[in-house]
């Protein structure tokens, strides 16, 4: 059901307040042809009402002829900022960039963040944004999980379906996504709610079983029969199963890039207001599937690049896959058991 402009403006104000937006700061809204009109108009009203100096930078789309999906995360090649020095300079001069376009996995984004500019991505439909407005409690919970990741040297994941994956840790820091940007140089995504990291390069090993009801993104579909991934030396070396496996193999082959098969980020969902079932209620082209990525207790792993976590691997192919019913261990500490998050004690939050 659509939401009113008033509701979305209030949601924006909550997120901007959590992001410590102050009167007199410069906010640039980064937009493209796919930007949702209501999200944009309400963001403009919210930022101006809070006393910000507001700009809009609208850039033409790229990669359309190369991508096999309209999803903004389906092809991670060049961005509208590639070689666009004037646009990059404008964003670096901003205190806050509201990314209503999707600038992920790009060197330009890293450069902007290093200048101290904050970037908040928000590209889900307005009703999803309003339902999943982040809170200070989300931040505390996600940061507690990130601290556990930082202290661990191994993540092990098992499931009744047959998953048995071992990922040595320590080479890359944890990433905490809680939905707002409250520090200079911070990137986040509204909505979100999960903690993740990347396995040490070339070390992940074992078996991943994508079971019935698990989700493939950007395909945005529930798997109807198991897909079995054999993982050796940090890469998925085999993708076996029936039609779903064949569809996944065919999609990945279109990129003609072996780096697309690498195990990318690994972590678990911590957002109780996100739901596994929601993906089936939206048009595929209307959402990028953040409910699926963030719902509480999922084990979220991905294939493809690790440059967002500080690595050097880049590839246009990026696939996120949330699994249900898994048990996740950090060293000997169980953090998710059979798809249910085990809460830390209040003294550790």
23-70 pLDDT, tens digit per residue, is: 999 999 999 988 999 999 999 999 999 999 999 999 987 765 666 666
So what's the pLDDT on residue 346? 43
The model's pTM is 0.93
Say whether pLDDT at 75 is over 70: no
Q: What is the mean pLDDT of the chain?
A: 93
Reduced to 3 states, what is the DSSP secondary structure of residue 52? Answer: coil
pLDDT for position 73: 65
Residue 82 has pLDDT above 70, yes or no: yes
> What is the per-residue pLDDT for 345?
45
What is the average pLDDT across 214-224?
A: 95
State the pLDDT at residue 71.
Answer: 62
Look at residues 38, 11, 14, 183 and name the one whose alpha carbon lies nearest to residue 96: 183
Q: Are 220 and 284 in contact (CB under 8 A)?
A: yes
Task: Tell me if 96 sits within 8 A of 118, measured CB to CB.
Answer: yes
In angstroms, how far is the first alpha carbon of the chain from the final one? 36
Mean pLDDT value of segment 297-324: 94
| CA dist 277 → 28, 222, 245, 266, 334 (Å) | 34, 10, 22, 21, 25
Between helix 5-18 and helix 37-49 the angle, nearest 10°, is 60
CA distances to 114, 282, 287, 295, 316 from 191, rounded to whole Å, are: 23, 16, 12, 11, 23
Question: Can you give the pLDDT at residue 349?
Answer: 42
Domains of the chain, earliest start first: 5-131 (3.40.50.2300), 136-348 (no CATH)
User: What average pLDDT does this structure show over 247-256?
Assistant: 95
Angle, CA of 340, 121 and 268, to the nearest 5°: 15
Residues 6+ apart with CB under 8 A from 55: 26, 27, 28, 29, 90, 94
Render pLDDT for 327-342 as a digit per residue (tens, 0 to 9): 999 999 999 999 999 9
310 vs 204 pLDDT, higher one? 204
Write down the pLDDT at residue 272: 96
Calpha distance 52→24 (Å, rounded): 5
What's residue 67's pLDDT? Answer: 62
Q: What percentage of the chain reaches a pLDDT higher than 70?
A: 94
3-state secondary structure (DSSP) of residue 256: coil
As a whole number of angstroms, the distance between CA 127 and CA 100 comes to 15
Residue indicated by tokens 């719902």: 295
């Amino acid at each position: 059901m659509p939401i009113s402009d008033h509701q979305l403006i209030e949601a924006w104000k909550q997120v901007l307040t959590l992001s410590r937006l102050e009167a007199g700061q410069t906010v640039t809204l980064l937009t493209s042809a796919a930007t949702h009109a209501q999200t944009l108009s309400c963001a403009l009203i919210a930022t101006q009402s809070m006393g910000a100096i507001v700009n809009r930078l609208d850039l033409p789309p790229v990669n359309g002829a190369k991508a096999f999906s309209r999803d903004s995360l389906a092809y991670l090649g060049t961005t509208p900022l590639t070689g666009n020095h004037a646009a990059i300079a404008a964003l670096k001069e901003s205190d806050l960039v509201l990314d209503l376009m999707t600038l992920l996995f790009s060197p330009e984004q890293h450069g902007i963040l290093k200048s101290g500019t904050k970037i908040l991505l928000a590209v889900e439909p307005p009703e999803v944004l309003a339902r999943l407005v982040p809170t200070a409690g989300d931040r505390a919970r996600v940061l507690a999980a990130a601290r556990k990741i930082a202290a661990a040297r191994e993540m092990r994941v098992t499931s009744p379906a047959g998953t048995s994956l071992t990922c040595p840790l320590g080479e890359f820091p944890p990433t905490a996504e809680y939905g707002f940007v409250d520090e200079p140089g911070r990137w986040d995504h509204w909505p979100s709610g999960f903690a993740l990291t990347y396995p040490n390069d070339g070390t992940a090993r074992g078996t991943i079983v994508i079971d019935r009801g698990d989700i493939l993104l950007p395909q945005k579909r529930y798997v109807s029969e198991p897909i079995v991934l054999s993982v050796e030396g940090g890469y998925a070396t085999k993708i076996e199963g029936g039609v779903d496996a064949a569809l996944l193999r065919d999609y990945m082959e279109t990129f003609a890039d072996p780096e697309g098969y690498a195990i990318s980020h690994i972590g678990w969902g911590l957002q109780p207001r996100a739901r596994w079932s929601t993906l089936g209620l939206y048009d595929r082209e209307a959402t990028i599937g953040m409910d699926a990525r963030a719902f509480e207790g999922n084990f979220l792993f991905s294939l493809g690049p690790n440059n967002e976590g500080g690595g050097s691997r880049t590839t246009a192919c990026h696939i996120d896959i949330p699994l249900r019913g898994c048990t996740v261990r950090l060293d000997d500490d169980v953090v998710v058991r059979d798809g249910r998050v085990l809460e830390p004690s209040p003294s550790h939050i």
